[in-house]
Each structure stands twice: as structure tokens, then as C-alpha cells.
A = this chain, B = another copy of it.
Amino acid sequence: MKQIDVCFTPELLHLHQVENSIVVVVDIFRATSCMVTAFAYGVSKILPVATLAECRKYQEMGYLTAAERDGLKPDGFELDNSPFSYMTEQVAGATIAVTTTNGTLAITRSRAAVKVLVGAFLNLGAMADYLRNQQYDILVLCAGWRGKPNLEDTLFAGALVERLQEDFLILEDSPLMALRQYQQAKDNLLGYVANSSHVRRLQRLGIQKDIPYCLQADLYDVLPVLRGNVLVRM
């Protein structure tokens, strides 16, 4: 039987066999929540890039660009890392080059997988429905924060494990821990993450309205998938 596993941070990805798995990359605050929102608002393609310099290069080539470092937008980019910045007609049909502190790295490191999908609470239901019928193992890759595990990505992993636990085996402790953390949290996700390092960081930066938005489940029927170097809607 197929199994579902969780990797708490890209720093542990070398311990997993991504070659035989579908990888679901998650960076709840806020890269993958942005990407799901972007496709829901009509973005055509998203190109995840590693560095600010690379992102500027694509800007010169005419791409829209989005950038974030440590929660803030560096000067000279059109979009920041807030899902609300994608809720505009400007993005419909656009190709956007994106670089963020954690999320884009997690995507680029997963390229050897059978398939790389972008997950968030916003598309949790669509993701679960799609994965349920797949014949491969699933690995949820949490983007974490600078290599360390974080609470909100772990909670998403647990939510996905909960929805798929009838269809996939839980053989490792990481998915078990994520599942139980989510079960403890799910009746009050917002309260549960209130003391987390990332929520405090976002609150210091004055962008706390993104937090409840990114914790909403099943808002969009969107499945971003990596094709070559580019994310597109499935």
C-alpha cells in the first residue's frame, strides 16, 4: 500500500526518496498560499527562482516579479509575498517570477520527484481529492523557516495526512506527529498558531491580516504543479 510521509524541513530532504514520490511543497506563511491565490486570480505561470538577482533578470525580460526576504519586499519588485497583492486584474494571464526566503527553495529542491505540487490550506480539499487516487507515495515537504521546522507548515501536513489516512499508510513518526498536532489544533487554528515564531514575526511587520486568510481551508479548487522549471495550474 502507498504511504504518506512528512519532511519537516528541506534540510532533511536527503533522508527521503523523492524519486518515487509525489511531493507536496507547503509554505503556509506565505509563499504557497500566495501561489494558490495567484492561480485562482488567473495567473498563467509562476517561475520560482532562488535569488533576488535572478528575479531581477526576469523582470528585465518583461516578467512580473514577486520577492520576499525575511517577510518584507525588497525594493524594485511589483509584488510582495502577501496573497492580497495577487488579488488584482494586473495578474490575469501573467507569468510571474517569484523568490522567497523558504518556499521557492523547497520547490526547486524537490525537482527529482515524480511530481511536485504546491499545497496550502486554501487548496487542501482539491489536493486531497487529487492525491487520493494516485499510485505513488506522497511526501509533504514543509518549507520551514531557515532550515528549521515550523508550526504552520507542520499543521498543514497533519491536515493532509488526516484527509488521506484511509488511503495511505502512516509508517513514520513525522506524519504521526503532524497528524496529532493538527488534531489538537484544528478547532482553533488561529489561536493555536498565535504564539508561533512566524506569526509573531508577521505581526511585528504589520502584516497580520494574511494570517487568518492563509489558514482558511478549501477556498480554491486550484492545483499548482511544477512542469520543468515553471509552476502551472493542473
Cβ of A153 to closest chain B Cβ, rounded Å: 9
Q: Could you list 6 A-B pairs, sorted by A, with CB under 8 Å?
A: A12-B147, A15-B146, A151-B173, A176-B195, A177-B177, A181-B181
In the bound complex, what is the Cα–Cα distance between A146 and B181 (angstroms)?
23
Cβ of A145 to closest chain B Cβ, rounded Å: 7
Question: How many interface residues does chain A have, given as a range?
Answer: 20 to 34
Chain B neighbourhood of A42, CB < 8 A: none
Which of these, B180, B195, B197, B198, contacts A181 with CB under 8 Å? B180
Bits for A129-173, please: 1 = Cβ < 8 Å to B, else 0: 000000000000000011111110010000000000000001111
Cβ of A43 to closest chain B Cβ, rounded Å: 30
**A9 at the binding interface (Cβ < 8 Å):** yes
**A184 at the binding interface (Cβ < 8 Å):** yes
Given A8-B8, A181-B181, are A173 and B149 neighbors across the interface (CB < 8 Å)?
Answer: yes
Cβ of A215 to closest chain B Cβ, rounded Å: 15
**A44 at the binding interface (Cβ < 8 Å):** no
Chain B neighbourhood of A9, CB < 8 A: 12
In the bound complex, what is the Cα–Cα distance between A8 and B151 (angstroms)?
13
Given A15-B147, A146-B15, are A177 and B171 neighbors across the interface (CB < 8 Å)?
Answer: no
Q: A177, A197, A198: which has the most chain B beta carbons within 10 Å?
A: A177
Check A148 against B172 for contact (C-beta < 8 Å). Answer: yes
Q: A171, A174, A181: which has the most chain B beta carbons within 10 Å?
A: A174
Given A180-B181, A184-B180, A184-B184, are A173 and B147 neighbors across the interface (CB < 8 Å)?
Answer: no
